[in-house]
Structure 1
Amino acid sequence: MYTKKTYTAFQMAIWTRFETLLFLVIILAVVAAYYFLDLAWLKIPWTPLALIGTAVAFVIGFQNNSAYGRIWEARKIWGGIVNTSRTFGMFVQDMLTNEHTEKPLSEKVLNDEVKELTYRHIAWMTALRHAMRASKPWETTMGHRTNREWDARPPEHDSDLAQDLEPYLTKDDLEDILKKDNKQTALLYQQSHHLRKLKEQSVIWEFSFLQLESVLEELFTLQGKSERIKNFPYPRHFATLNHYFMWVFVLLLPLALVPQFGEIGKEIATTNPLIGNLFVWLSVPFYVIVAWIFHTMERIGRTGENPFEGTANDVPISTIARGIEIDLRQNLGEEKDAIPGQFPMKHHVQF
């Protein structure tokens, strides 16, 4: 029976198995050439290689810190969307009243107005998560062979935005939104226009209108922060050069590691000829471990550069948005059967 730590290690091994096999082929070829063809002269000193390895380690560390910072900022942004959405839902339910109206509206009309505002907010989240899942030229993690065979994608890749928006908007609003390039921004404009109309009818008190407008302002701020991460990639000169530097180090490493094990083997051969003669082959597991660590850390950094791409390690904005929708609609008094269920996990991963 796998523990969580064991299962995670097993997944990591599967995720990097093609590269691990390549490292094994590289080191076996170098050791075989050294052992069978007597190419002991084919070596490089440790000093320049150590300098390269140190530089690569620093750059990988910088990349991983930056990638984690982007992931954490994205999670904080969507955490802010959760809180602000709940606040908006509470405000529209309690601030739409007949207290200041000259011609009181019926309870049904008030409830319909609350529902329309709430549903439009859900449509805004739907449009925003679709925009965050749109493919960008620099997002390549989903195309990796191990991610393709994993066969798990975010729900936005298998649905149409217009169909997803249709349950939440009137026909006229939907037609207007679909004409816009930035649909999430257009939805917030519609919200503001609707609130202004209700304020002019005195359904919303002027102070309450200002409060609701400030909530829309916060939603604009959170949307802009999310779009900034999506549309501005991790600087490519850092990402690309780091990848090349890592491979330079990995390919040069056998030329220093294998001769070093060979020299140690010669010393051992003076007392134990059999072990000393075969000792150079011990460089194989050591090389694979070192190369795997450098490559895997660099790949983890590349995976975390784009937190909305939709991979297993990204921010689960689909799950977050659907959770907010469930909260808002339940607090409207809707039955559970009428509310869409949470998006299912795939391979223990939320999207």
Structure 2
Amino acid sequence: MYIGKVYRITDMVRWTRFETFWFIVIIGLWVAIYYFLDLSWFRIPWTPMALIGTAVAFVIGFQNNAVYGRIWEARKIWGGIVNTSRTFGVFVQDMLSDEHTKESVSKETIRKEIKALTYRHIAWLTALRYAMRNKQRWETTSNHRTNTEWGIKPPEQLSSLEEELKPYLSQSDLEEVMSKNNRQTALLYSQSHHLRKLKEQGMIWEFSFLELENLIKELFTLQGQTERIKNFPYPRQYASLNHYFMWLLLLLLPMALVPQFMDIGNEISAIYPTWGAHFIWFTIPIYTAVAWMFHTMERIGRTGENPFEGTSNDVPISTISRGIEIDLRQNLGEGISEIPPQFPADLGVQF
């Protein structure tokens, strides 16, 4: 997610500069053809262009609304993960005791169990964010030149999941989790089994056990919701056709716009001959501005289709997960030096 003060127009121009170059080339060729070959008769009426433009604007608006809905839903889901994680952390700390055990249990043993449960939850967050960063075949936005040239990558591309899980799981638990395809689900299963064992030992009261199991259920729900967004792409029949329609408009537009400027130039020639003779060349900046606006709005929609792909416009799940981890570990009593720092926002981008 880009977290600069504002998205400056210079940022947008730089982001779209390759396409803008092609707009200038396209309109420059059309203007040169009309100017040097005198093709004033070769034109498209404005009525069909207006119909096409209206249809394209409608489809782009539909796409952007749908894509924004996906992004906003993803952010709400991860907001739910934040809240449920904090609740789980405080419940674990306050619901584990030796009040219902048959034999006395030391405070050190209780603290050890609380830490194991909390660390396993952090491992679940880690596994979930890694799963969300796995590249799907329809996720191609991050491959665009204007995204790769920054040279920054999400944390999940800089280290392996196994290395990240080592500080939070025992060796046997780590091997068990890594043997599964869905590691985040395996961790929630393990968490539930651990809670049941503590309930059987009397370290968790039965009512408290049910409350904690409800939180596990809520985590499963949130996990399923974020996996749904990850694994179900924005429908291609909308995204692909919208892209083609937009380019159809931009390729046909010069055949209506250039003759219009030629007619205006002929009218001006009666008063300002020099201006009138060259007025057709003003088509270039006007067309470029119109094409840039249509293309940029369509590209914004494409960029936001996959809110977990790992680009500058995605939901910052890595930062959210690390923020939860910092909260949980600080409330375990760990010092700042023991807790990993928040991920840096390189070039104003928060992953």
TM-score, length-scaled by structure 2: 0.98
The residue aligned with 2:144 is 144
SS in 2 for 1:89: helix
Q: Does 1:195 align with 2:195?
A: yes
The residue aligned with 1:22 is 22
Tell me the distance in 1 between the aligned counterparts of 2:149 and 2:230.
25
Tell me the distance in 1 between the aligned counterparts of 2:33 and 2:156.
51
Tell me the distance in 1 between the aligned counterparts of 2:174 and 2:148.
34
Counterparts of residues 318-333 of structure 1 (less than 5 Å): 318-333=318-333
The residue aligned with 2:204 is 204
Q: Does 1:94 align with 2:94?
A: yes
Tell me the distance in 2 between the aligned counterparts of 1:215 and 1:101.
23
Q: Which runs of 5+ in 2 are unaligned?
A: none
The residue aligned with 2:344 is 344
Q: Does 1:275 align with 2:275?
A: yes
Opposite residue 315 of structure 2, the aligned amino acid is: V
Q: Does 1:58 align with 2:58?
A: yes
Opposite residue 189 of structure 1, the aligned amino acid is: Y
Tell me the distance in 2 between the aligned counterparts of 1:141 and 1:104.
58
TM-score, length-scaled by structure 1: 0.98
Tell me the distance in 1 between the aligned counterparts of 2:322 and 2:204.
28
The residue aligned with 1:68 is 68
Q: Which runs of 5+ in 1 are unaligned?
A: none
Could you tell me the percent identity over the aligned residues?
Answer: 68
Tell me the distance in 2 between the aligned counterparts of 1:143 and 1:310.
11
Tell me the distance in 1 between the aligned counterparts of 2:269 and 2:280.
11
Tell me the distance in 2 between the aligned counterparts of 1:42 and 1:22.
22
Tell me the distance in 2 between the aligned counterparts of 1:147 and 1:80.
29
Opposite residue 28 of structure 1, the aligned amino acid is: G
Tell me the distance in 2 between the aligned counterparts of 1:99 and 1:332.
21
- Could you tell which deviates more after superposition, 28-37 or 123-132? 28-37
The residue aligned with 1:116 is 116
Give 1:346 shift.
Answer: 1.1
- Could you tell which deviates more after superposition, 103-112 or 267-276? 267-276
SS in 2 for 1:327: helix
- Could you tell which deviates more after superposition, 115-124 or 269-278? 269-278
The residue aligned with 1:297 is 297
Tell me the distance in 1 between the aligned counterparts of 2:325 and 2:176.
23
Tell me the distance in 2 between the aligned counterparts of 1:175 and 1:28.
62
Give 1:4 shift.
Answer: 4.3
Opposite residue 275 of structure 1, the aligned amino acid is: W
Tell me the distance in 2 between the aligned counterparts of 1:229 and 1:211.
28
The residue aligned with 1:215 is 215
Tell me the distance in 2 between the aligned counterparts of 1:54 and 1:152.
38
Give 1:42 shift.
Answer: 2.1
Counterparts of residues 208-247 of structure 1 (less than 5 Å): 208-247=208-247
Opposite residue 109 of structure 2, the aligned amino acid is: V
Moved over 4 A (4+): none
Tell me the distance in 2 between the aligned counterparts of 1:181 and 1:74.
23
Tell me the distance in 2 between the aligned counterparts of 1:51 and 1:318.
44
Structure 1 residues 4 and 112: CA distance shift in structure 2, 3 A: closer
Tell me the distance in 2 between the aligned counterparts of 1:43 and 1:324.
61
Tell me the distance in 2 between the aligned counterparts of 1:148 and 1:111.
45
